[in-house]
Amino acid sequence: AKPNLTAISAISSPSSTSSSSPHTLQRKPLKPLSLDFIDQRAFRSRRSQNMASNGASPKIVDATENSLEKIKRQLASGSGRNLLQGPLFKRSETLRKWNERWVILDPTTGKMEYKTRRNEPTIKGTILFDENSTISISPVNFQGLPKYNGCCIYIGTPQKKDYFLCAETPGAARAWVATLHATQLVLKAHKEAVDSLSGSGSSTLGTVATVVAAANSTALESSKEIQAAMQVSLRNALKITANKPVNEPLDDLTIMKETLRVKDEELRNLARELRSRDSTIKEIADKLSETAEAAVAAASAAHTMDEQRKIVCVEFERLSKDSERQQEAAISKLKELEEKTSSLSKEKDQLVKERDSALQEAHMWRSELAKARERAVILEGAVVRAEEKARVAEASGEAKAKEASQREATAWTEKQELLAYVNMLQSQLQRQQVFEEKTESTNGDTSLPMTKETEKDVDKACLSISRTASIPGENVVHMSEEQVVNAQPPVGENEWNDIQATEARVSDVREIPTETERDRSNSLDITVVTPDESNVPRSDLPPESFHHQP
């Protein structure tokens, strides 16, 4: 898996690049390498126990010890080592800032150290890696500057510690990576050699020597590439310095330096003039020595020139004092500039801290905004669910209202049918009453000699009037007060009064012989049942209680 690298832009100062001296491959004897990772006593005892348990002979044990001594001598020998050295930009782990470091790699031991400058005696840090580390040229330019495309090196260790380096050129980066890969092969061969001595590996001393020689040759070839890259970088730095624009506004220090340079040239010209005049004076003195006039003239000329020389000396002293004062003023200004620079650096650090705190606060507000958005999404979902429930409830309410209206229409039709049926029954009752009245009138004329007991009986075959008779539940019609009122108009009030009047006349009906009762039992006359008050439909029932069961 490729490492997740973040692109960080950092501008390195050209002074640090130009100050670094050209790379040279140094070959120097090293101290014997101590095998700290091997505990000799424990290793020998464990090896002896393993060989004894396997039934190995003492000759095999001696041969193994001799092989171990050869590996020690090979690792401890300082001859044939090529140290790969050169400048690399290393990203800081805390401030993520790129700093130039002088890196030293020993391909025979896998030791990689770096210093702040080449001439410093102390080591600033160590880059740790092993044979299982991931070392490659990063396809991402996490240094930031376009000129470092293909120059970034990534080192990932199994201890989850990453190193980010940057070379001067892509060729130098490839050289470093090739040497690091060769160093990994050396470390792997050393480990396999040690494992082979303990009986768990298959590497030999020839393999170790081969990979060490290959690593040294790789380091030697890589050093040439790195040296060429450093020369290119140095030429670029010198070209940048030479191509600086001269049209920039001059500061006081530059003006003073230019003034001093002009004065120095004037003094040199005066000195040359003095020397030429001295030679002229000598020539004139030689010529005037022959004659007195020439001598007087020469003496006067010499006196004049001596006065001029004194004047020039005084002027020279004055100029020297002026230059000293100007130099002191320049030094004081330089000190002031240094103080300002230090204060500006402190302000820069403060601004960097404020920027970091502002970034943290912005990140916090971003997280709060994300939480608020999540809550808004949850609330929107709740609103959508509530609206859906409201729509479902509205639809169910409309369905229930429609069903209720249908029931109401059905009840209304049933009510109309019942009212028509009641009107029909009332008309039949009226016809029956008229028939009974006619029958009573005929029976009154024929049965006058009847006894008093027979007159008290009632013709049960014709009419049955019982106020306590109950109506079957399946024929009960529950009607509300409004329905009763609406059901009454088809029957006239006079007709109901006639029915009540006939009830009073029923008691006068006389008994008919039994033969007529049997004949009447087979008749189709409709019996009139007068319900009790408890069975009369109440007018205060709700409209929903009106139903008809066929």
The answer, yes or no, to whether residue 498 has pLDDT greater than 70, is no
Least confidently predicted of 139-143, 155-159, 206-210, 456-460: 456-460
Task: Check residue 211 and give its pLDDT.
Answer: 79
32-72 pLDDT per residue, tens: 333 333 344 444 545 555 544 555 455 555 555 665 565 55
- The pLDDT of residue 352 is 95
CATH assignment of 14-30+78-242? Answer: 2.30.29.30
β-bridge partners, 165: 90, 153
| pTM listed for this prediction | 0.35
Q: Is residue 113 pLDDT above 70, yes or no? A: yes
Cα 425 from Cα 428, distance rounded (Å) = 5
Question: Where in the chain are the domains?
Answer: 14-30+78-242, 252-405, 456-545
Degrees, nearest 5: CA angle 240-244-250: 150
Distances (CA, A) of 13 to 17, 60, 96, 240, 356: 7, 62, 16, 12, 23
Residue 363 one-letter amino acid: H
Cα 157 from Cα 471, distance rounded (Å): 102
Give me 374's structure tokens.
């999540």
What integer best gives the mean pLDDT of the chain?
Answer: 71
**Predicted confidence (pLDDT) per residue in 213-224, tens digit:** 888 888 888 888
pLDDT at 412 over 90: yes
Q: 98 or 235, which is more confident?
A: 98
pLDDT category, 496, cuts 50, 70, 90? very low
444 vs 27: which has the higher pLDDT: 444
Strand-pair category, 111-115 with 98-106: antiparallel
Q: Highest-confidence range of 18-32, 147-161, 285-299, 409-423, by mean pLDDT?
A: 409-423
- Each residue of 399-421: b (16+ CB within 10 Å) or e? eeeeeeeeeeeebeebbeebbee
CA 142 to chain centre: 20
Task: Tell me the C-alpha distance between 391 and 463, whole Å.
Answer: 61
User: Distance between CA atoms of 238 and 18, rounded to whole angstroms?
Assistant: 7
